[in-house]
Amino acid sequence: MCGIVGYITVNPSDPCSRIVKRMREVIAHRGPDDSGIYLDSHAALGHQRLSIIDISAGHQPMANEDETLWITYNGEIFNHSALRSELEKAGHRYQTRCDTETILHAYEEYGADCVRRFRGMFSFAIWDRRNQCLFCVRDRLGIKPFYYFWDGRLFAFASEIKALLQHPEISASLNDYVVPEYLAFGYLSGAETMFRGICKLMPGHQLTIDLRTPPPQLVTSCYWDVPPPERDDHRDDRALISECRHRLEEAVQMRLMSDVPLGLFLSGGVDSSAIAALMQRMSSSPIKTFSVGYHEAKYSELDYAKRVARAIGSDHHTISVTREQFFSTLPRVIWHEDEPAVFSSSVPLYFVSKLASEHVKVVLSGEGSDELFAGYERYRYYDFNAQWAAWYNIVPGWLRTRIRNHMAISSLLSGDMRRKLQHTFIGRENTVESLQFENFYCAFSRSEIAALSSLPGINSSGLENVLGFWDKWPSASPLARMLYADQKTYLVELLMRQDQMSMAWSIESRVPLLDHPFVEFAMRLPERLKLRSGEQKYILKKAIQDLLPPEIIYRRKMGFPTPLRQWFGGPDNQSILSGLLRQDSLLASVLDLSRVEKLIAAHRQGAVDATDRIWRLLNLQIWGDIFLKGKCEAPERFSFSELN
C-alpha cells in the first residue's frame, strides 16, 4: 500500500523534481518506508512506499527491462503469483517478487486489457515514454483512490487531493455546482469533488492521455461493472450457501498474503466477526484484533467485539473515544479525507487505526457485506413503505399533503414521534426519491437546499447522480436497484474513509468481501437468500453459523452509531452551534445564515432534530477553513477551537 503522485505536460520542459517532491511528501504518511521519483521532459512520477511484499525490493517508480515503461502503483494484486507463472512462460523475466513488476509485464503482454486479469485493490499510472502515452486505472470497486486534474495542458494525479494542491498550477477553490449534493448526502457520488477542476477516476474505470495526438484528449472508459441479477434462478439454497462459504474462505485466505504482521478491525458485527473467525482458523497463533467504541455505553459495540475475541481466541486490543477527543480530532480527520467527513465513524476509525499501527502493518475489515446482501434496515423499510404507499394513494392528494404538513408541525406529537412518522409513507411522497433517498440518505431535503443556498444558478436536489445509478437497471427489482446504487455511491465513500483513515497511520486495509469474483457471485444470487422474512444477509449468516455464537450472528445491527444528538444537545456544545454563524466562514459565502440561525434555534428548542444537518454544516465549515481559508497547514497544528 502506497501513495502515488505525478503529472505530465503537453509541452516539453526541463525536468523539475521540486514539484513532484512536494506532491509526494505531503502524503508521506501513506508510505514512510521508501520513496522515489522518475523525471523526463514530459512526465514526473512520484511514489511513497509502504513495504508489504518483498520488503527489500520493489522500489518505485519501477521500470521494465528497457526503461520504456514506468509505473507508480498503490495496492495489492492478490493473484500476482499465478499471473507471474503465465508471464514467465511467455518470456518475461522478473527481478523482484513484487506484484508491481507483474503489472508492468502484464501491460507489456496484454496492453490495457491486463487490468481484467488482476484480482485485488489497486490504482496505478503507467507512463509509456516511447509512445508518450499515460495509462491510469482504478480497481473495480473503488477500494483505492485516484484523483486527477486536467486543463488541456497539464494532467496531474495523486492518491489524495492535498498532493495535487502542491502543484503550482493547481489551486484550491470551491466547486459550487456540487453544494446541493453535499448538503443532501454529505458526499459526492460522481466524478466531481469539492474542489473545482479536481475529479476522481470512478471505480472500474481506466484513463488514457496520448500526447502524440494534438490536441491531447483525456479518454476514460469502464472496464468492469457489477453484473445484473439473474432471472428465474432456481438453484438449490444449500448448494449456494455452501458456495458462499467456500468463496468467502478463498477471499480471506488470499488477503493473508503479507511479509509483515496482519490484524483485523473487529466491530463485533457479523461481517468482521466472520472474517476474524476464518482468519483465526487459518492462523497457527492468535490473530490480533482491534476495536473502538465510545465512553457512552449505549453507542459502543466493544462488549460484542470482546465476546467474539473470547470465542475465537484472538489477541484483542480496544480503545474508547471521548467527546473531547472526538471534536479535537475532527479537523485532522477532515484534512486526511480531503473533503468534509460525511461519516462520524471516521473519527473512531482514525483512533483504532492508530491503535492497530502500534502492532501490525496490515488489517482486514468487513466493508461491503451490507451492500451485497441487503444488510441495511432501509432496504426493509423501503419495501414496507412502498407497499403501504400504494394503498395510501387511495386518499386524495390534497388530503395527503395536508396530513403530511400538519404532522410536521403538530404540537400534539413529540419531536421523536414526528421524526419517526416522517420516515413512513404518511410523511413522504410516493416516489423513490422521497421514500428511499431523501428518506434514508439526505440530511437536507430538496426544498431546504433551495431555500438555504445563496449561490446563484443553483437549482438541484443533489439526487441526480444516485438516481442515474438507480435507473441503470430499470427492469430489475427495487432491492437489486437499491443495492446497485449503494455499491456505486455509498460504498465508494465508505471505502474512501477506510483507505484515508488507515493510511493516516501507515497501515494497509484489505476488504475480503469485495473480492470481485465474490461480488459477482453475490449479485447474481436470488433475493430470497439476501432478505428472507425480514432476516437480512440471510445467506451470509447461514454460511458462517458454525463459526460464531448465535447472539453475534443474529443480533440487531447497530451500524457504529455516534452520540452526536446527545453531544449537540448538551450545554458544552453551544459554542459549536454558535460557531456555524461566523461571518468569515465558508458557510457565510454559500448559505443564507439567517436560515441556518433559525435551524439552530429550532434544534436548541427541541422543535426539530437537526443533528444530521448540523453535522453537514460543521464539516463543511471546517473543510473550508482548512483548505480554502488556509487556517492550518499541517494536521498536528489543528485546533478545533480556532477553526470553530
* Residues 6+ positions from 568 with CB-CB distance below 8 Å: 576, 577, 603, 611, 614, 615
Phi, psi of 371 (to 5 degrees): -80, -15
Query: Residues with Cβ < 8 Å from 476, sequence gap 6 or more?
Result: 228, 229, 484
User: Going by C-beta distance under 8 Å and a sequence separation of 6 or more, which residues neighbour residue 71?
Assistant: 45, 60, 61, 62, 63, 100, 103, 104, 107, 124, 125, 126, 127
What's the start-to-end Cα distance of the chain, in Å? 34
The rounded distance, in Å, linking the Cα atoms of 100 and 6 is: 17
- What is the side-by-side strand order in the sheet with 62-63? 62-63, 69-77, 120-128, 133-138, 205-210, 218-222
Q: Coil, strand, or helix at residue 428? A: coil
Give me the sign of the Cα torsion angle 50, 55, 57, 63: negative
Q: What is the DSSP string of 24-50?
A: HHTTGGG-BSEEEEEE-SSEEEEEEE-
Q: Which residues contact 59 (CB under 8 A, 6 or more apart)?
A: 34, 36, 49
Told to judge if 244 belongs to the known catalytic residues of this protein, a careful annotator would answer: no
Dihedrals φ, ψ of 297, to 5°? -60, -30
Choosing from 2, 114, 244, 632, the catalytic residue is: 2
Chain-centroid distance of CA 317 in Å reads 25
- 3-class secondary structure for 207-259? EEEECCCCCCCEEEEECCCCCCCCCCCCCCHHHHHHHHHHHHHHHHHHCCCCC
Q: Which residues contact 29 (CB under 8 A, 6 or more apart)?
A: 3, 503, 504, 505, 506
The 3-state DSSP class for residue 135 equals strand
Strand order, beta sheet including 288-294? 315-321, 288-294, 262-265, 362-364, 508-510
423 vs 27: CA distance, rounded Å: 42
Q: Write b or e for each residue in 373-385: b if 16 or more Cβ atoms lie within 10 A of its Cβ, otherwise e.
A: bbbbebbebbbeb
Give the residue from 621, 622, 616 showing the smallest Cα distance to 635.
Answer: 622
Q: Which of the residues are catalytic?
A: 2
